[in-house]
Amino acid sequence: MRQSQKEKEGVRNITLLGIVSFLNDFSSEMIMPILPFFLASLGGDSVLIGLVGGIRDSITSFLKILFGYLSDKIGKRKVFVYAGYITSAVFKFLLAFAPTQLFALAAASLERVGKGMRDAPRDAMISQFLPHKSGAGFGLHQALDTVGAIFGSVAVLLLLMYVFSPLTPDGYMQIIAFAGVIALLSVVPLIFVKEPKFKPTGKYYNFISAIRALPRDMLIFIGITAVFTIANFSYMFFIMKAGLTEGILIPIMLYIAYNIFQAAFAYPIGKYADRIGKRTVLILSYIVFSAILFGFALLTSVEAMLLLFVLYGIATAAFIGVQKAYAADLSPPSLRGTAMGTFQMAVGIAALPASVIAGYLWKFISPDATFIFGGTVALLAAVLMVVFRPAKLSSG
């Protein structure tokens, strides 16, 4: 079936937003694989690493719903997306010069303030550009975002192998500072993104009243995704599990494989979810993710780790974009920013206990206990999705 002119324009705008995310994730993923080792070099332990992983997502929770609501209220989204990407770049530069673990904790966490400003307005824009094909729209954006992660991971791997070997404090600083420059460049493609038109929700006095106006099934779905997020703790624990026996380079290579498969499957899974139903895809992805976590607890060989990281990437491709698309389908168009902000707030709040619990289980029981806990909770989320059956409201 041929695309309409409106669909072509929507794909163009989502592609531009994807390029913005490509550059930003190129920057972020130069930092992400070395962040746990950087924190350890400053004296941080597994609990601090879990705290950083959780706070990085949780600190932005209030901001996501606030800026999503503001974008609904004033009828403008692009300005918040601009401000968010610039804010993130600034704190990446500050992280590069962290003299202590507490300074690094603050900079790595506050870098996510920019994410809190931009994510809900940006996701609302994506849902408006392709309202009847939200799975494909979010899948396309996620694919470009993840390709940026691949490039960033490969770049840092090459730097570690050929430039900064062994990695010194000056090496960390130079890598992270360079990542900050790339983050600043990410705002350039945003200039060419068209601001979507919609009717502002001026009748809601504040974001609390706007949240109360969200459909019941949307709120149920938000609760289920919050439960699932408890299982989806920080990627840093997956890297550390591989690093228990393989040092630093092999885990980064495995992380690159994870991102390659996430990028490859995000768009086709999104399109498939539009056809067979996003709820069905989410249930299956939660079950598969549960099995993967149990696999991380039981298996230790390099070959097993490679398979698990590949499956981890495919499962992530299934639930990240499709969760956003389903949240958009469950919300009215006039409250899309508020809805996406509320959804992301719940996920962000759940991320803190997820990674802190994972850190404590790792330190005081065993690394395997971390993954057994996650696998059990992911299976619970699948059961909740089957039982409560949140129903689609709108794709417009």
Distance CA 256, CA 268 (A): 20
The DSSP secondary-structure symbol of 252 reads: H
Cβ neighbours of residue 17 under 8 Å, at least 6 residues apart? 81, 122, 125, 126, 141, 189, 190, 193
Instruction: Look at residue 395 in the predicted model and tell me its pLDDT.
Output: 41
198 in a domain, yes or no? Answer: no
Instruction: Establish if 178 belongs to a structural domain.
Output: yes
Query: What's the rounded Cα separation, in Å, for the pair 358 and 86?
Result: 31
Phi and psi for 122 in degrees, rounded to 5? -65, -45
Render pLDDT for 190-237 as a digit per residue (tens, 0 to 9).
999 998 887 776 666 577 788 888 889 999 999 999 999 999 988 778
pLDDT at 247 over 70: no
Q: pLDDT value at position 248?
A: 67
Percentage of the chain lying above the pLDDT 90 cut: 47
Map residue 250 onto helix, strand or coil: helix
Is the pLDDT higher at 84 or at 164?
A: 84
Torsion sign over Cα 266, 329, 210, 335: positive
Q: What is the CATH number of the domain that holds 266?
A: 1.20.1250.20
Per-residue pLDDT reduced to its tens digit, 305-316: 889 999 999 999
Q: What is the mean pLDDT of residues 73-92?
A: 91
Closest CA to 115 of 51, 28, 181: 28
15-20: average pLDDT: 96
Per the CB < 8 A criterion, the answer to whether 55 and 109 are in contact is yes
In a domain, 394, yes or no: no
What is the pLDDT averaged over residues 278-299?
A: 95
Q: Please, which pLDDT band fits residue 361 given cuts at 50, 70 and 90?
A: very high
The verdict on residue 49 lying in a domain is: yes
Position 396 confidence tier, pLDDT thresholds 50, 70, 90:
very low
Confidence tier at 356 by pLDDT (50, 70, 90): confident
Interhelix angle 78-96/101-129, rounded to 10 degrees, is 160
Q: Are 12 and 125 in contact (CB under 8 A)?
A: no
For residue 394, what pLDDT is reported? 43
Is the link from the previous residue into 166 a cis peptide, with omega within 30 of 0?
yes
Instruction: Give the number of other Cβ atoms within 10 Å of residue 275's Cβ.
Output: 11
- State the average pLDDT over residues 348-365: 86
pLDDT given for residue 359 in this prediction: 87
CA 131 to chain centre: 21
Q: Which residues touch 269 (CB under 8 Å, ≥6 apart)? A: 135, 139, 281, 317, 318, 321, 322
Q: Are 337 and 65 in contact (CB under 8 A)?
A: no
Q: Residue 222 has what pLDDT? A: 95
pTM: predicted TM-score of the whole model, two decimal places: 0.82
Phi and psi of 187, rounded to 5°? Answer: -80, -15
Predicted confidence (pLDDT) at residue 59 exceeds the cutoff of 90: no
Query: How many independent structural domains does the chain possess?
Result: 1
The answer to whether 103 touches 52, Cβ cutoff 8 Å, is no
Number of helical H runs and strand E runs in the chain: 16, 0
Per-residue model confidence (pLDDT) at position 121? 94
pLDDT above 90: residue 118 = yes
Q: Mean of the per-residue pLDDT values for the chain?
A: 86
Residue 293 pLDDT exceeds 60: yes
Q: Classify residue 133 by its DSSP letter.
A: -
- Please tell me whether residue 197 adopts helix, strand or coil conformation: coil
pLDDT of res. 201: 63
Residue 31 domain boundaries: 5-192+207-388
CA atoms within 13 A on the CB side of 81: 29
Angle CA 269–226–35, to nearest 5: 80
Segment among 19-28, 150-159, 385-394 with least mean pLDDT: 385-394
Question: In this structure, is residue 240 part of a structural domain?
Answer: yes
Averaged pLDDT, 176-182: 91
- 289/118 Cα distance (integer angstroms): 28
Start-to-end CA distance of the chain, whole Å, equals 20
In-domain check, residue 201 = no
